[in-house]
């Protein structure tokens, strides 16, 4: 299968290119090399490489020649520096996706795998001892300033019990990045219905691993902690460090993309299926910071009590649908992955595009 991988020189994209090559497919890397994701120009990947933006329809049109499917990874990620980033997020993520889909429709390419995100759910699943399943409202600056980080029941104010989110949970995006990721899914769903396309959205959890960008606000918390350790500084843990997340290794995410691409031609036209893509091992942000610091040899993390208003408290989801329907399994454990990541090069250290998987 010849696969156009947008964002294919990036962190997740480069791991996908490696996996597609391993499975005998023909990836084509399409990447604009945004400075936020590429502090240095990366080494050429082991694939045909086109340097262009998905916002450029002519470049996309040329790149789609002879392509069987598209794996759309190109996006701005993270919370960035503030709401002033909103125009860039919308342009890169939503306008870029619209241009890509319109051009795919013209070219007759009907199979798509989209890099979705768990951020579309907003706050995760919560249960109140008295009122059952509830959806807490956004956290307020007053509560956060006072160190009241946990959402409470909107009915009685009781402490809530976090749980796992399923794909059928109504979306509730709570920051600009989350809004753009949900819009990407809606655009892809509209495209499938109008042109008879087939699409999968993989709703990534907190992806980490070798090759993450260094020293940028446009990256996940694992990258920020690893960057601090590389500078000899203590990782700064916001809130109280008890925020629950699911940290999934980039190689496992790459495998999920590969099996999704291989399954897309078997799907009925006019469909988009979403799959949560996580490790199944929830951990707190504080646990992750301590694991990285311990494996790196310090310094120890510091819990600051600071917060970002666009952050959610807990978000972990069940990946059972992906495991059941596509026979996918995460292979890299939390302990193994953090030990590797604590010593691995970051993007900006060596410019490396991909990492070499461990033997075996």
Task: Scan for tokens 């002033």, then name that residue.
Answer: 84
**Nearest-angstrom CA–CA distance, 321 and 221:** 26
pTM: 0.92
Single out the residue of 142, 139, 141 nearest to residue 150, CA to CA. Answer: 139
Q: Vertex 12, ends 16 and 68: CA angle to 5°? A: 40
Look at residue 148 and tell me whether its pLDDT is greater than 80. yes
**CATH number belonging to domain 2-124+165-343:** 3.40.50.720
Band of pLDDT at residue 107, cut at 50, 70 and 90: very high
**Nearest-angstrom CA–CA distance, 255 and 19:** 7
Tokens linked to 34 = 């945004």
- Average the pLDDT over 219-223 and give the result: 84
Q: Which of 104-118, 204-218, 224-238, 278-292 has the lowest mean pLDDT?
A: 204-218
Sheet holding 111-117, edge to edge: 48-51, 26-31, 2-6, 69-72, 111-117, 198-204, 271-277
User: What pLDDT is recorded for position 38?
Assistant: 66
Domains of the chain, by residue range, sit at 2-124+165-343
User: What pLDDT is recorded for position 356?
Assistant: 30
pLDDT digits (tens, 9 = 90+) for 312-342: 999 999 999 999 999 999 999 999 999 999 9
Catalytic residue among 121, 177, 204, 307: 177
Neighbours of 160 (CB within 10 A): 23
243, HSE (Cβ side, Cα atoms, 13 Å): 27
Task: Scan for tokens 């992806």, then name that residue.
Answer: 207
Tokens linked to 138 = 């956004």
Contacts of 179 (CB under 8 A, 6+ apart): 173
Do the strands 26-31 and 2-6 form a parallel or antiparallel pair, or are they unpaired? parallel
pLDDT digits (tens, 9 = 90+) for 268-307: 999 999 999 999 999 999 999 999 999 999 999 999 999 9
User: What pLDDT is recorded for position 181?
Assistant: 96
Band of pLDDT at residue 83, cut at 50, 70 and 90: confident
Look at residue 178 and tell me whether its pLDDT is greater than 70. yes
Active site (annotated) includes residue 177? yes
Task: Scan for tokens 């959402």, then name that residue.
Answer: 151
């Amino acid at each position: 299968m010849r696969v156009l991988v947008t964002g294919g020189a990036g962190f997740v994209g480069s791991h996908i290119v490696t996996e597609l090559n391993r499975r005998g497919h023909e990836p084509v890397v399409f990447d604009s090399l945004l400075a936020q994701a590429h502090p240095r120009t990366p080494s050429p990947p082991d694939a045909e490489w086109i340097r262009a933006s998905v916002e450029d329809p002519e470049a996309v049109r040329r790149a789609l020649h002879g392509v069987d499917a598209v794996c759309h990874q190109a996006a701005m990620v993270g919370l960035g520096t503030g709401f002033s980033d909103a125009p860039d997020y919308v342009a890169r993520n939503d306008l870029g996706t619209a241009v890509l889909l319109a051009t795919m429709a013209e070219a007759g390419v009907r199979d798509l795998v989209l890099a979705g995100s768990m951020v579309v759910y907003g706050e995760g699943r919560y249960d109140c001892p008295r009122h059952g399943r509830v959806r807490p409202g956004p956290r307020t600056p007053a509560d956060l300033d006072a160190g009241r980080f946990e959402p409470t029941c909107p009915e009685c104010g009781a402490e809530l019990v976090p749980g796992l989110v399923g794909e059928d949970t109504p979306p509730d995006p709570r920051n600009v990045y989350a809004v753009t990721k949900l819009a990407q899914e809606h655009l892809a769903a509209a495209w499938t219905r109008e042109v008879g396309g087939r699409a999968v959205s993989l709703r990534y959890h907190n992806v980490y691993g070798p090759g993450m960008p260094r020293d940028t606000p446009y990256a996940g918390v694992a990258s920020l902690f690893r960057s601090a350790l590389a500078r000899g500084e203590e990782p700064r843990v916001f809130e109280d460090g008890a925020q629950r997340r699911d940290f999934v290794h980039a190689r496992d995410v790459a495998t999920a993309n590969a099996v999704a691409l291989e399954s897309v031609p078997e799907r009925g036209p006019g469909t988009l299926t979403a799959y949560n893509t996580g490790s199944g091992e929830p951990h707190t942000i504080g646990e992750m910071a301590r694991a990285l610091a311990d494996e790196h040899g310090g310094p120890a993390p510091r819990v600051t009590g600071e917060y970002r208003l666009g952050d959610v408290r807990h978000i972990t989801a069940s990946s059972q649908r992906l495991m059941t329907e596509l026979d996918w399994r995460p292979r890299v454990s939390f302990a193994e992955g953090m030990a590797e990541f604590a010593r691995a090069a970051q993007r900006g250290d060596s410019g490396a595009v991909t990492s070499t998987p461990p033997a075996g």
